[in-house]
């Protein structure tokens, strides 16, 4: 069940943190690690801090951009320490584990950002929801490997809980596997083009509109049949424009 | 409430772990640290890894034996990675938090042992119960600071649960109050009319399409500004149709 869960570390500068994160993952039974633009990797310090979890490091996938790292995933959850002003759905680590483990047969990415600045808004835009680890209000400086440890711990707690409950629990949500990131990318391109065609979006003006629409539809976790309906609507709107053009 | 909780680290050999444990504590709001026979303390590496939690290190109590470190405590909980043959009562980290925070006005010690060997049986004999963090059966090598992080996280989760007040809950999410039912009704009417206008919905055919769109947008919990954006898009699509009608 944990093979479907990918931990994605974005822009980590201290290799020790990568090793510590790998160890944190392995203690809880996770093995799928992806690294986006690590400053230094592979690295002796990472291996040293992994202390026995070097197999996780050896199998880590390397990516040079964030979008590429999540293409095969159906549910993308971004961790964040800060309160953001914009309305992402916010999950606790416990709710994150619940969401992750009750969607069977689909790949989930849980994203951790840079040591000092976390994830960018552009990266969070590609997430379905934000996971916020509760911290002290006066000192929220959680180490990235410690954050991985907490999330992985909650996944383990939840999986142990699920193993003692009837299978019915898992079947419940089998119809609501979210669309893949690739399908969502195509949907957003179609949406953007349609908004241009109907004159709602000026491609020369800033893209805050698309960011807001990304956030809106990402947090909905569209399933394939819904993406098809929405793209059908977009096509119908585009045809209206074309039909009447001289 | 956290002033009554003391984290006791016994026989730590790597000073970096002491610093990381202090940071883990402070992120979750804990401040009382006791060190029993640390190999090296104070130490620059500990301070470096504490990254801003150096006040926790500065106020740490030093002891040369375990018994002395717990004299002022009323509840003593020892963490252990291994299954012990002797029948201590075993708590999960969550149950540990529950026990710790529901015993008012008494000092609690949570004990973490040596990096390689943990706590001795003689030390565990002085504990009221054992706390076991669930780990993978094939790799249970949890870093001591990571263990502190998990225990501290569960304490924070539990304390927030105990403090939950209705106002607090509402304030936290004040930016994401969903649009009113009235606004949603108007939105769905506007959506339906637009789908008819662009020829995507045949009003004489059954309404399963609208039900699916209801479900999709209802679970998103649109906020007012998002309803405005979507209605703006609908209006733009309708204008395209009207402009070109004879």
Q: Which of the residues A99, A162, A237, A239 would you substitute to probe the B interface, choosing the one with the greatest number of B C-beta atoms within 10 Å?
A: A237
The yes or no reply on domain B2-164 and CATH 3.40.50.920 is no
Domain A181-244 bears CATH identifier 1.10.8.590: yes
Residue owning tokens 């483990």: A101
Domain spans of chain B, in order of start: 2-164, 175-244
Domains B2-164 and B175-244 share a fold: no
pLDDT of residue B73: 85
Note the ipTM here.
0.76
CA distance, residue B73 to nearest chain A CA (Å)? 24
- What is the residue-wise DSSP string for A12-29? ---HHHHHHHHHHHHHTT
Least confident of B33-47, B119-133, B211-225: B211-225
CATH of B175-244, one of 3.40.50.620, 1.10.8.590, 3.40.190.10, 1.10.357.10: 1.10.8.590
Q: What is the mean pLDDT of residues B99-107?
A: 78
More confident residue, B174 or A15: A15
For residue A206 the two structure tokens come to 């800033």
**Contact state of B146 with A232 under an 8 Å Cβ cutoff:** no
DSSP B5: E
pLDDT score of A173: 38
What's the pLDDT tens digit per position in B65-90? 999 999 888 888 999 876 665 566 78
- Residue A113 has a pLDDT of 97
On average, the pLDDT of chain B sits at 87
| Nearest Cα residue to B53 out of A142, A211, A232, A229 | A142
Third-level CATH fold of A2-171: Alpha/beta knot (3.40.1280)
Q: Which residue of A has its CA nearest to B245?
A: A244
**Residues B139-168: tens digit of each pLDDT:** 999 999 999 999 999 999 999 888 754 333
Q: Which residue of B has its CA nearest to A142?
A: B27
Confidence of residue A174 (pLDDT cuts 50, 70, 90): very low
Structure tokens at B150: 């998990």
The confidence score (pLDDT) of residue B167 equals 37
Answer with the residue of higher pLDDT: B243 or B44: B44
The CA distance from B92 to the nearest CA of chain A, in Å, is 9
DSSP A177: P
Across-strand partners of A77? A110, A129
B240 and A199 within 8 Å at the Cβ level: the answer is yes
Instruction: Give the end-to-end CA distance of chain A in Å, rounded to a whole number.
Output: 56
């Amino acid at each position: 069940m944990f093979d479907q869960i990918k931990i994605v570390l974005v822009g980590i500068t201290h290799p020790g943190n990568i090793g510590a994160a790998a160890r944190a993952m392995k203690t809880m039974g996770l093995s799928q690690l992806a690294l986006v633009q690590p400053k230094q990797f592979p690295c002796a310090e990472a291996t040293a801090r992994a202390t026995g979890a070097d197999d996780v490091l050896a199998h880590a996938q390397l990516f040079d951009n964030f979008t590429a790292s999540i293409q095969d995933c159906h549910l993308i959850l971004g961790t964040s320490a800060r309160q953001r002003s914009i309305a992402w759905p916010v999950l606790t680590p416990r709710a994150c584990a619940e969401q992750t483990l009750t969607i069977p047969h689909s790949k989930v990415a849980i994203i951790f950002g840079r040591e000092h600045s976390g994830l960018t808004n552009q990266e969070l835009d590609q997430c379905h929801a934000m996971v916020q680890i509760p911290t002290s209000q006066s000192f929220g400086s959680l180490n990235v490997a410690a954050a991985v440890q907490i999330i992985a711990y909650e996944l383990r707690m939840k999986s142990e809980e699920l193993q003692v409950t009837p299978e019915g629990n898992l079947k419940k949500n089998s119809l609501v596997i979210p669309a893949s990131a690739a399908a969502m990318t195509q949907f957003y391109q179609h949406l953007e083009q349609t908004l241009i065609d109907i004159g709602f979006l000026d491609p020369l003006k800033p893209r805050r509109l698309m960011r807001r629409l990304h956030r809106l539809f990402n947090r909905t976790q569209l399933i394939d049949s819904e993406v098809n309906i929405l793209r059908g609507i977009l096509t119908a709107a585009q045809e209206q424009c074309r039909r009447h053009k001289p």
